[in-house]
């Protein structure tokens, strides 16, 4: 279970696949440190926010803002390296959004493509606890791919540094099968979605100000900013193969964000 009731079941309500019985799920290796467990105060606030979201959803459905995407390819000393900047919203309070993104219970949220999860969590192990600099996590994942009549999965072994206090994550892929570099970071920030309704005379600059002017009735959403750098290995960094690699990488990331937004909608009770 996650940090609030029904977390696992919400995540597993995938629109592309019927809910499976517990015995049919893949067995994931689960590790949880003290830093992964929210305080009672955080859990109570999260439950309160989720109730506000569900109550509001019954009156008017929330629609996440369109994804903002910027892609650049460098041709200097880092020839062939691409940078991706993404910004998107989730209709969930920041702590809940962070839990979905870091996925501490290894529950799947991505869609099923030709019998395979787009992003499958194989294992997750906390290597070192958070001592102020973030906790180090080793993960093994698999990304599904399809090309013409062929399909399969690409294994990914990555390191994550999770700063729960600041709602940030840094990650680096360790295995270099088709890539020379794949690393990035993302950050979750609060989005005061009801500020125009409750805070008419002053734009809140903090959660405390927002809770005060909304008298605790204002919903808090999440703005997620992601910065990604990747560079294919030599043979895959030459046109036209490099064009395909860059295009499929961007498409996969966009699809995963769409699945995250679908998951957040399920958690709001849609």
How do residues 89-119 score in pLDDT, each as one tens digit? 999 999 999 999 987 665 678 888 878 889 9
3-state helix, strand, coil in the chain (%, to 5): 30, 35, 35
Identify the residue with better confidence: 243 or 3.
Answer: 243
Domain assignment present for residue 15? The answer is no
Domain assignment present for residue 72? The answer is yes
Task: Give residue 129's Cα distance to chain centre.
Answer: 21
Peptide bond preceding 3: is omega within 30 degrees of 0, i.e. cis?
no
Q: Which residues pair with 173 in a beta bridge?
A: 158
pLDDT at 35: 44
Sorting pLDDT into bands at 50, 70 and 90, what band is 270? low
Query: CA–CA separation, 21 vs 38, rounded Å?
Result: 28
Query: Does residue 176 surpass a pLDDT of 60?
Result: yes
pLDDT at 200: 86
Query: CA–CA separation, 226 vs 68, rounded Å?
Result: 10
Domain assignment present for residue 9? The answer is no
Domain assignment present for residue 22? The answer is no
pLDDT at 12: 35
Span 219-248, average pLDDT = 89
Tell me how many domains the chain contains.
Answer: 1
Q: Which residues pair with 96 in a beta bridge?
A: none
Q: What percent of the chain has pLDDT over 90?
A: 48
pTM above 0.85, yes or no: no
Q: CATH number for the domain including 249?
A: 3.30.530.20
Domain assignment present for residue 13? The answer is no
Query: CA–CA separation, 90 vs 97, rounded Å?
Result: 7
Domain assignment present for residue 3? The answer is no
CA atoms within 13 A on the CB side of 188: 24
Span 179-192, average pLDDT = 94
pLDDT at 77: 53
Task: Give residue 233's Cα distance to chain centre.
Answer: 26
Domain assignment present for residue 37? The answer is yes
pLDDT winner (highest mean) among 103-117, 149-163, 254-268: 254-268
Span 256-265, average pLDDT = 94
Query: Does residue 19 surpass a pLDDT of 80?
Result: no
Sorting pLDDT into bands at 50, 70 and 90, what band is 6? very low
Q: Domain containing 91: what range?
A: 30-267
Query: Does residue 9 surpass a pLDDT of 60?
Result: no
Sorting pLDDT into bands at 50, 70 and 90, what band is 145? confident
Reduce the DSSP state of residue 102 to 3 states and report it. Answer: helix
Instruction: Give exposure, 25-34, as e/b (b: 16+ Cβ within 10 Å).
Output: eeebeeeebe
Question: How does DSSP assign 152-180, residue by residue?
Answer: EEEEEEEEEEEETTTTEEEEEE---SSEE
Domain assignment present for residue 10? The answer is no
Rounded to the nearest integer, the mean pLDDT of the chain is 82
Q: What percent of the chain has pLDDT over 70?
A: 81
């Amino acid at each position: 279970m996650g940090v609030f009731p029904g977390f696992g079941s919400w995540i597993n309500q995938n629109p592309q696949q019927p809910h499976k019985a517990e015995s049919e799920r893949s067995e994931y290796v689960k590790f949880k440190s003290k830093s992964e467990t929210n305080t009672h105060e955080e859990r109570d606030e999260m439950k309160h926010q989720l109730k506000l979201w569900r109550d509001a959803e019954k009156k008017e459905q929330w629609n996440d803002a369109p994804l903002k995407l910027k892609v650049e390819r460098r041709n200097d000393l880092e020839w062939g390296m691409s940078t991706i900047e993404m910004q998107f919203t989730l209709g969930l309070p920041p702590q809940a959004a962070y839990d979905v993104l870091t996925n501490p219970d290894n529950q799947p949220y991505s869609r099923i493509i030709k019998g395979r999860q787009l992003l499958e969590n194989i294992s997750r192990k906390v290597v070192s606890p958070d001592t102020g600099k973030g906790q180090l996590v080793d993960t093994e994942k698999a990304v599904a791919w399809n090309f013409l009549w062929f399909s399969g999965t690409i294994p990914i072994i990555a390191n994550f540094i999770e700063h729960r206090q600041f709602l940030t994550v840094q990650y680096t892929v360790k295995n270099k099968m088709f890539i020379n570099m794949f690393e990035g970071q993302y950050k979750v920030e609060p989005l005061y979605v009801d500020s125009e309704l409750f805070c008419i005379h002053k734009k809140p600059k903090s959660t405390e100000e927002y809770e005060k002017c909304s008298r605790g009735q204002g919903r808090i959403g999440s703005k997620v900013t992601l910065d990604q750098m990747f560079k294919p290995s030599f043979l895959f960094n030459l046109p036209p193969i490099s064009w395909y690699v860059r295009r499929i990488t961007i498409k996969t990331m966009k699809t995963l964000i769409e699945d995250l937004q679908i998951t957040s909608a399920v958690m709001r009770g849609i």
